[in-house]
Structures are given as C-alpha cells and as structure tokens.
Amino acid sequence: MNGVRVFILCKAPVPGRVKTRLSPAYTPLQAVRMHEAMARTVIARARSLFADVCIAADDTDHPFFADLNLPVVAQGPGELGERLIRLSIRAFAGDGAPLLFLGTDSPHMRVQRLEKAAELV
C-alpha cells in the first residue's frame, strides 16, 4: 500500500531488557529469541504491504537492525506517548503522508487488519 508511512517501534534484542515478563519461565536469551522472531514477523509483513517502512528503535546502533535493510530512526526518551508525538512530528515534517504505528508484540495480526488500518489513516 503506497502512500502510508509505517513506523515499527522495536526494542533492540538485549537479554534482560526485552520480554522481561516472561521470566522466570524463560531465560533472558530465550526471551530475546522470541522478541527477534516476533519483530522479524511484523517487519516482514509490513514490508510486504507497505512501500514506506521505517524502524523506530531504542538503540539504532544495535546489529539486529543492520540486517533488516530498512531505515532506522531513534525513538528517543520518554513515555510511549512522547515518543509517538516525536515520531509523528518527524514524519509530518516531510510530505505529511498518512502514518501508521506498529509494535512488534502482534506477529499474529492478520494482513486484512493492517490493510483496514491503512484505509482509515
């Protein structure tokens, strides 16, 4: 879907910093592997649907993001709302394209739901 800019908010896969609520059932390394798999699924799905996809990361220099072959921008500090506002301002400073934010915690989200969301923005 052309014309929609997608920002995928994604944490760097660092043991002890992602999916921490899964402990103690899973080790920090297992949690990282789950996070990576979920993130890659969401990113691949977004790339298959949208022409303009960007990763909004907490650590833009982490090697995980280099392999994705997508633009990576910093989320910056603050609560989720503050980060979304900052990314929105950045996006709208360009051409004002409709903007869709995705997280990496919903790899099960169906294509139809993403298409519907894109129609609404």
The answer to whether 20 touches 114, Cβ cutoff 8 Å, is no
SS3 assignment for 53-75: EEEEECCCCCHHHHCCCCCEEEC
Q: 39-97: per-residue pLDDT in tens? A: 999 999 999 999 999 999 999 999 999 989 999 999 999 999 999 999 998 877 667 77
* pLDDT value at residue 59: 97
Q: 99-113: per-residue pLDDT in tens? A: 999 999 999 999 999
* pLDDT value at residue 94: 65
* % the chain with pLDDT above 90: 77
* pLDDT value at residue 1: 66
pTM as predicted: 0.91
* pLDDT value at residue 120: 82
102 forms beta bridges with 8
* pLDDT value at residue 79: 96
Rg (alpha carbons) of the chain, rounded to whole number: 14
